[in-house]
Amino acid sequence: MDIKLSPEDQAFADEVRRFIRDNLPADIADKVRRDIHLSKDDYMRWQQILGARGWHVMTWPEAHGGPGWTITQRYLFEVISAEMDCPLIQPFGPRMAGPVIFTFGNDDQRARFLPGIRDSTVWWCQGYSEPQSGSDLASLATRAEDRGDHYLVNGQKIWTTYAHYADWMFCLVRTSKEDRPQKGISFLLIDMTTPGITVQPIPMLEGTHSFNTVFFEDVKVPKENLIGVEGKGWTYAKFLLEHERVDNAAIGVTKAALRRVKEIAAAEPGAGGRPLIEDPLFHARLTAVEAQLMSLELAALRTLSAVASGGSPGPASSLLKIRGTEIAQRISELGSEAVGWYALPWQPEVLDGSANEEPIGPAHAGPAANAYLWRRCMSIYGGSNEIQRNIIAKQMLGL
């Protein structure tokens, strides 16, 4: 989809392209282009390069060190970044912890925590889901007992992305069992080096290690690390989750994935020796998902525009999360279909860059199985799509 740009926005897009071309490290771009797993150092290097201009905290107001971009500029940056093989900006600090801290935190907390996020010297993780409290997050059981000048935290979090990298966690804990479950939840910032914290990896089906279980055993958290008011954590969590679900639409990344599938289909032979992309059935499926992506893009822009005008994403964020993840999954299915039998071999050494021999099949076939398997979890994390449909039914349809 082409969006008509003003001269100012066109100049901005040109500036972003020049900056990325001049500053994106070649080794990182090569990994992204070949779907090789990135290290913590890869992510941090790129975010620190962006941080020199405040670009990786694009949603932040200028008062807190953000670039003051318009919705259109944010959209352009994300799409151009994906198009030019930039790594994803890890959201846990810039898009999650940061906005909660500068919106609901106090001046001392802003002074303590925002600089490390802004400079990409501190890595954050999200402590929400628990073994018995995933999509039903309000039932969480991790307990924070008031011990005067600190809380004593005991419990367990699960599916904690990059907890093994993290310096800090923003964490939902139960400080009261009175009244409705939502009213007893508080929002704590927890130093991951605190005694009593254990991080245990969860190996994934496609061979990566990004998720973890985190155990808390008599972990002391100073009272000054409580965000806002005790018992109001559910309000802050909903604020964060609505914005996370808008991000889960991942328009730029999905457009880049679709472009790669087109390139693969143009290189792979189809019936009669013609390129697969010319096969009528495959082409029809490809154009159908492209049309769906265009529709999603317009919906995401409308939602972002409403947010920029002071509104809330509301249940529209659930719609975007559902459609965005389903479209990404469909594109990964087309990618596997395009490489045919070459999608079957499991080649983890190709994905981590350690291979010392040629991969089986063409170079673009190696990541196909990984992409397909990884995208299965997209409709589960961030609140499963089934839960998102319940939200839509309740808030939009009154059911």
- Cβ contacts of residue 42 below 8 Å, gap of 6+? 28, 31, 87
Phi, psi at residue 205, to the nearest 5°?
-60, -35
Q: For residue 147, how many other CB atoms are within 10 A of its CB?
A: 11
71 neighbors 113 (Cβ within 8 angstroms): no
Concerning whether 244 is annotated as a catalytic residue, the answer is yes
Tokens (6 digits) for 212: 């973890």
Phi, psi at residue 55, to the nearest 5°?
-75, -25
351 neighbors 358 (Cβ within 8 angstroms): no
| CA triple 264-270-272, angle to 5 deg | 150
CA distances from 113 to 41, 103, 110, 144, 225 (A): 21, 13, 6, 21, 10
The candidate with the shortest Cα–Cα distance to 340, out of 390, 256, 279, 252, is 279
Rounded Cα distance between 9 and 72, Å, is: 8
Task: Classify 135 as helix, strand or coil.
Answer: coil
Tokens (6 digits) for 166: 């993290």
Q: Which of 244, 268, 297, 337 is catalytic?
A: 244
Rounded Cα distance between 121 and 47, Å, is: 9
Tokens (6 digits) for 288: 């159908």
Counting every residue written for the chain, the total comes to: 399
In angstroms, how far is the first alpha carbon of the chain from the final one?
35
CA distances from 13 to 51, 82, 264 (A): 18, 13, 27
Query: What 8-state DSSP symbol labels residue 66?
Result: -
Rounded Cα distance between 211 and 92, Å, is: 14
E strands along the chain, which residues? 124-127, 143-146, 150-157, 168-174, 185-191, 197-202, 211-222
Catalytic residues: 244
